[in-house]
């Protein structure tokens, strides 16, 4: 009698987990809407603080000031990692908006030949750099290694410049 209940519970749990993963994936695939004001005010430089957010010198300074209080240091790492993950999430949303804007330019025929391939190359570079930094943030939070976000920031700048150069002649 206990075995069928356990099997039913395991199946329900598995189905719920699969539904949750599919829901998150469907939300991640849909880019946020693009409004006209977003492009006018967008700058990849708003993500520049990410390069210094998880700087080892600040952690060393705090460690020196608090006398090795592990709880405080753990809290500092957790808060900084949370902020970095929020930066990464917003950066990914803005990148998806850039890609959607670029695709709209391709569909409208308002860009040069090869622009669609450039969009794909930018997506590959950004995705690789984004995941690399995401893993580095997780490792940094548990005290292993450091975070180098420069390639990710450069990828975001290059993507914005590519879309801007395709968009500029039509303006």
Supply the pLDDT for residue 61: 79
Q: What proportion of the chain, given as a percentage, has pLDDT over 70?
A: 87
Average pLDDT over residues 143-158: 91
Same domain, 24 and 40: no
Per the prediction, the chain carries an average pLDDT of: 83
Quick one: 67 and 130 in the same domain? Answer: yes
Domain count, the chain: 2
Average pLDDT on 142-164 reads 90
Percentage of the chain surpassing pLDDT 90? 31
Residue 29: pLDDT band with limits 50, 70, 90: low
Predicted TM-score (pTM) above 0.75: no
Tokens at residue 117, please?
Answer: 């391939």
Q: Left, alpha or beta for 143 (phi > 0: left; psi -120 to 50: alpha)?
A: left
Whether residues 116 and 75 fall in one domain: yes
Q: Encoding tokens for residue 130?
A: 């984004």
The mean pLDDT of 78-90, rounded to a whole number, is: 93
Identify whether residues 26 and 46 lie together within a single domain.
Answer: no
Identify whether residues 40 and 21 lie together within a single domain: no
Average pLDDT for residues 109-137, to the nearest whole number? 91
Q: Which residue has the higher pLDDT, 168 or 52?
A: 52
Q: What is the DSSP string of 116-161?
A: HHHHHHHHHHHHHHHHHHHHHHHHHHTT-S----HHHHHHHHHHHH
Judge if 66 and 150 occupy the same domain.
Answer: yes
Q: Are residues 76 and 148 in the same domain?
A: yes
**Same structural domain, 72 and 150:** yes
pLDDT mean over 60-80:
81
In this predicted structure, the answer to whether residue 46 has a pLDDT above a threshold of 80 is yes
User: Which range of residues forms the domain containing residue 81?
Assistant: 33-170
pLDDT at 169: 54
At residue 83, the pLDDT reads 93
């Amino acid at each position: 009698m206990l075995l069928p209940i356990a099997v039913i519970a395991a199946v329900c749990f598995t189905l719920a987990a699969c539904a949750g993963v599919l829901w998150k994936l469907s939300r991640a695939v849909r880019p946020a809407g693009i409004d006209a004001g977003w492009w006018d005010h967008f700058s990849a430089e708003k993500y520049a603080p990410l390069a210094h957010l998880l700087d080892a010198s600040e952690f060393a300074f705090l460690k020196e000031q608090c006398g090795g209080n592990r709880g405080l240091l753990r809290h500092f790492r957790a808060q900084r990692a949370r902020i970095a993950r929020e930066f990464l999430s917003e950066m990914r949303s803005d990148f998806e908006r850039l890609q959607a804007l670029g695709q709209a330019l391709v569909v409208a025929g308002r860009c040069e030949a090869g622009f669609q391939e450039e969009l794909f190359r930018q997506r590959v570079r950004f995705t690789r750099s984004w995941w690399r930094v995401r893993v580095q943030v997780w490792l940094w939070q548990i005290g292993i290694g450091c975070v180098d976000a420069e390639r990710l920031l450069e990828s975001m700048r290059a993507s914005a410049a590519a879309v801007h150069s395709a968009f500029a002649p039509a303006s």
